[in-house]
Structure 1
Amino acid sequence: MLSGLVSTLVAGCSAEPVTVTSAEDLTAEDRETCRALIADVPDTLGERERRDIEPPDALGAAWGDPAIVMTCGGEAPTLSPTAVCEEANGVGYFVDDASLRDESADVTLVTVGYDPIITVVVPAEQRPEGVAAATAGLAAAVEEHTELIRGCL
């Protein structure tokens, strides 16, 4: 039993850091907001453990393998007229059309109505439970650290 636990722990620790790209054009205030949000996100999303990221000071976080990746800041994406806004625990996320049509695609969720913007990419392998875990698990930190400009319509 103990050897199985040790093997599981070693396997869980062996994952390489996840590369996260930070937004380049953030104001100093938005950078501070993002740092506070990242410090406040949970250590787990569902049963997915938080992973190390590269570079360590990137404005994002990652969980699981393949990793669900959250980034803070950046530009709002161009949304089609048919883009869907889903609310989870009071936070609205726009979902890209491609992932709605193709169950085998990664899902990109964007808090377009918040400042700064939060983007969460859920790998196709983590669907559908990973989407639910990410939106529910991140809601409190997003509400606490970002400003709601406009909610889902």
Structure 2
Amino acid sequence: MRFHRRALLIAVSAVAGLSAAAVYAFRPASDERVAVPVPGARAAAYCAALHAQLPAKLDGLSEHDLKPVSDLTAGWGDPLIVLRCGVPRPAVDADPQTVAVEVNGVTWSYEQVTNGGVRMTTTLRKAYVEVLLPPKYAHDTGPLVDLAKPVEHTIPEGV
């Protein structure tokens, strides 16, 4: 009987741990901490210009303060939509079968993440911009529509 309880506790702990990991993939910890990318100087300059033009509302969602404060990150809404600028080129971009979508002149690669949300990353730009959309917004292009003009105006096309 003890073996079964121990096995059950291990199984419950494993499920809880995986659930927490899946949530963390999209929702930063309660203090709204986000990993800040470390781009080169040129990409960082593009990202600073982008940050200055980001909308206060994204698809009607209010902006969130993230920690640490950075020109390379931004967030909106609850559940939180997170933008990170200056991320490395995503591995999925090397696959010619990768799903991509063009929204108002900006092309984004699409990557499903473990919790049902999506990671959208700009392609063919001098700096890569990643947007993490939680499951609630995974099929909504509104955030990408609102980001298209700022990305197009501040991050030139090219690789």
Give the TM-score range, shorter chain.
Answer: 0.7 to 0.9
- Counterpart in the other structure of 1:114: 125
Percent identity over the alignment is 27
Kindly provide the amino acid, as one letter, of the partner of residue 101 in structure 2: E
Q: Which consecutive residues of structure 2, in runs of 5 or more, have no partner in the other structure?
A: 1-29
Q: Which protein shows a greater Rg?
A: 2
Give the whole-Å Cα distance in 2 for the aligned partners of 1:148 and 1:134: 20
Post-superposition offset of 1:119: 0.5
Correspondence for 2:152 among 139, 143, 152: 143
More moved, 47-56 vs 29-38: 29-38
Task: Note the 1:67-146 alignment, pairs <5 A.
Answer: 67-79=80-92, 80-96=95-111, 98=112, 105-129=116-140, 132-146=141-155
Give the whole-Å Cα distance in 2 for the aligned partners of 1:20 and 1:67: 11
Q: Do the aligned residues in 1 keep the contact of 2:48 with 2:72 (CA within 8 Å)?
A: yes
Post-superposition CA distance 1:93-133 (Å, at most 9, x none): 0101x35xx8x61111011211110000000122323xx12
Post-superposition offset of 1:27: 2.1
2:41 matched to 1:34?
A: no
How many aligned residue pairs are there?
128
- Counterpart in the other structure of 2:64: 51
Give the whole-Å Cα distance in 2 for the aligned partners of 1:70 and 1:127: 14
Q: Do the aligned residues in 2 keep the contact of 1:61 with 1:71 (CA within 8 Å)?
A: yes
Correspondence for 1:64 among 77, 88, 102: 77
Give the whole-Å Cα distance in 1 for the aligned partners of 2:65 and 2:35: 13
RMSD: 1.9
With normalisation by structure 1, the TM-score equals 0.76
Give the whole-Å Cα distance in 2 for the aligned partners of 1:141 and 1:109: 16
